[in-house]
Amino acid sequence: MRRGNIKASIRVAKHDRQAEKKEFVLANKLLTADAGHDFHPSHPNEVWVTDCSELPYGVNGTARLRLSAIKDLYDHSIVSWKVASTETADLVTDTFKAAIKNNHGVKPGLIHSDQGSSVSTK
């Protein structure tokens, strides 16, 4: 390339989406010093966990709904759940609002999630 005076074109770097997302990601508070997990809260509403799942239905399971659920780790009860056609931040937000309303305004000490796109959206 030097002999022929040929230069490679260098593309412009794209945004580092992972680095942008790290602003919103906190350390895993359920990890213990030995890197084990502490999933044994001592009282209700201390730790809630949340996740979204895809529910196939219809002929051959071709249609899909999204379930957003919140579980209390103290007694493993479902605090709140919502179903929608798409997994959005609004679905997750509505699930949390319903959970707080169902618990008469009581908020959890800690919320643990997989930090998926619908949870970590700005």
Catalogue all structural domains in the chain, each as residue range(s) with its CATH number.
43-122 (3.30.420.10)
DSSP per position, the chain: -TTTT-----PPPPP-HHHHHTTTPPP-TTB-TTS-B----SSTTSEEEEEEEEEEESGGG-EEEEEEEEEETTTTEEEEEEEESS--HHHHHHHHHHHHHHTTT---SEEEE---TTTS--
pLDDT band at 114 (very low <50, low <70, confident <90, very high): confident
Comparing 72 with 61, which gets the higher pLDDT? 72
Q: What is the pLDDT of residues 13-63, one digit of tens each?
A: 676 666 655 555 556 665 555 555 666 888 999 889 999 999 999 888 889
Check pLDDT > 90 for residue 82: yes
Q: Taking the model in full, what pTM does it have? A: 0.68
pLDDT of residue 111: 83
The candidate with the shortest Cα–Cα distance to 54, out of 11, 93, 84, 99, is: 84
Q: What is the mean pLDDT of the chain?
A: 81
Beta bridge partners, 37, equal 31
